[in-house]
Amino acid sequence: MKKDEPVPFLDVATPHRVLKAELMAVVDEALSTGRFVGGPNLEKFESAFAQFCTTKHCVGVANGTDALRFAYIAAGIQPKDIVITVAHTFIATTEAISQVGASIVFVDINEATYTLDPQKLEQFLKTECTKKSDETTIHTKSGQRVKAVVPVHLYGQTADMDPILELAQQYNLLVIEDACQSHGAAYYSKNQKCWKTAGSMGIAAAFSFYPGKNLGACGEAGAVTTNDAAIAEKIRMIREHGQKKKYIHDMEGYNGRLDAIQAGFLAIKLKHLAQWNTQRHEHAVYYNQLLKDIKEVVTTPHLEWRKGVYHLYIIVLSDTKTRDALQQHLNNNGIGTGLHYPIPLHLQTAYSYMGHTAGSFPVSEKIASQCLSLPMFPELTQEQQQRVVAVIKDFFKR
């Protein structure tokens, strides 16, 4: 690699170039059989992905947002229920809450994990909610039932699930995981004394196979994983207009199926996912090593209880001005960067009706305004990483 060759933020092209013959065979087969919806490719992928996530069931759907929405509906979230989640996530997590008619409540993230802070969840449940003596569910002071909590396994790292699951049990809440960025991430459960895979810890979990995700389709796709047979069956109905049998509708649903061609692509790419995740992990370790002497750069803390799959590799800078200037400097030097995500949800115009202000969720605000995502994809080379870090060092005049 030449000294000042650009480093892309993401390389979606290379894996498809490598797998092209195999992927084209899926297209050929679909064109000659005319099987574009359902069929063996879908079933094959669903059972392989369930196995990968160590769950009993996987139901393919049209995208990650549908996966969230269908999981919420199938889990029994009703209009006016409250669903608790974080403000430091992609808006799909909360869009789907509103789309089922429920209300969003934000809880702040933890500074070391960038995910839902169990202590702040407990604080909300203890101080803002009451349990009527004759009921098992809790309500907010406004009288709304608190039904579910949605931890988001952001950046390819799991939330701290043991205390979240304990609180959920204590307060009778459902846990639905947003695992859209965490295909294959692992969490060590002290309670169960074993490693658990993202997507296997709640009542259901949503995955996205948007092209840039660790497992990406060549278009839109998603899935719900669950160990609950009734939820899996319900999602199979919801994705297909509420029908179990053709034209027999037990309920209204959606058109939210996963295309047969995409399922065929995903089944091929899934065989490489563990290897790709290992490569991402190695890159993260190498970045950490290269960056450790730059005191202005904070890397994601290593925590014994989780193994990340680094959907994104983020660093945190001292303030927004430094972050923005460093991003500009990297971009000027041909290095791709991203911001995930620059404005926390509670400060978005879409949620201005909630009345939150700057200061409502300080950790979410801090990470949003100081984080910077560096190039991260399996094919990234050590030379490319060295170049990224050399440009960062140059910025800080090291």
Provide the binding-site residues for ligand PLP, judged by CB under 6 A: 63-65, 89-90, 92-93, 152, 178, 180-181, 208, 210, 222
CB of 235 to ligand PLP, least distance (A): 15
And the tokens for 261?
A: 């061609």
Q: What are phi and psi of 49, to 5 degrees?
A: -75, -35
Strand 186-189 versus strand 306-307 pairing type: antiparallel
- In the complex with ligand PLP, which residue's Cβ is closer, 264 or 338? 338
Nearer to ligand PLP among residue 115 and residue 385 (C-beta): 115
Instruction: Give 129 or 367: the residue with its C-beta nearer to ligand PLP.
Output: 367
Beta carbon of residue 90, minimum distance to ligand PLP (angstroms, whole number): 4
CA distance 321 to 244: 55
By beta-carbon proximity to ligand PLP, the closer residue of 99 and 130 is: 99
Burial classification of residue 3, based on how many CB atoms lie within 10 Å of its CB (0-12 exposed, 13-18 middle, 19 or more buried): exposed
Nearer to ligand PLP, 256 or 395 (CB): 256
State the minimum distance, in angstroms, from the CB of residue 154 to ligand PLP.
6
Rounded Cα–Cα distance for residues 316 and 368 (Å): 9
Taking the complex as a whole, the smallest distance from the CB of residue 64 to ligand PLP amounts, in Å, to 2
Separation CA 391–CA 287 (nearest Å): 13
Q: Which is nearer to ligand PLP, 178 or 385 (CB)?
A: 178
Q: What is the rounded CA–CA span in Å between residue 201 and residue 158?
A: 10
Encoded tokens for 271: 């065989």
Q: Report the residue closest to ligand PLP, judged by CB.
A: 64
- Taking the complex as a whole, the smallest distance from the CB of residue 89 to ligand PLP amounts, in Å, to 5
Q: To the nearest whole angstrom, how small is the minimum distance from the Cβ of residue 68 to ligand PLP?
A: 6
Please, what is the Cα angle at 363 between 102 and 67, to 5 degrees?
Answer: 35
Q: What are the beta bridge partners of residue 313? A: 374
How would you classify residue 294: left for phi > 0, otherwise alpha for psi between -120 and 50, otherwise beta?
beta
